């Protein structure tokens, strides 16, 4: 086995232990500070606001497109 494969396999072998250590640290931190959690009411308000803004933007673009289409229809291209 070449040196490169040996080094790569050693690094890969360390990944599960590192992940386990990080998960343990995160659980300890959550136990110390408490779970932050998100307020579901705020989440719903943000979703409704985001959807409302998206609908408003689409409606404005459709209105502009319709208005521009009406002006372009009246243009004589010399056909």
The pLDDT score that the predictor gives to residue 47 is 94
Sequence-separated (6 or more) residues with CB below 8 Å from residue 38: none
Determine the Cα–Cα distance for residues 41 and 22; give it in Å rounded to an integer: 31
Report the distance separating Cα 26 and Cα 46, nearest Å. Answer: 28
**DSSP symbols for 40-74:** HHHHHHHHHHHHHHHHHHHHHHHHHHHHHHHHHHT
Average of per-residue pLDDT across 1-23: 85
State mean pLDDT over 46-67.
93
Mean pLDDT of 26-37: 79
pLDDT for residue 41? 86
User: Domain boundaries in the chain?
Assistant: 1-37, 38-74
């Amino acid at each position: 086995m070449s040196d490169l494969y040996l080094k790569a396999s050693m690094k890969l072998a360390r990944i599960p232990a590192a992940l386990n250590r990080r998960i343990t640290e995160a659980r300890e931190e959550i136990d110390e500070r408490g779970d932050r959690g998100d307020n579901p009411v705020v989440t719903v308000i943000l979703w409704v606001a985001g959807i409302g803004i998206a609908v408003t933007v689409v409606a404005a673009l459709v209105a502009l497109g319709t208005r521009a289409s009406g002006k372009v229809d009246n243009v004589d291209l010399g056909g």
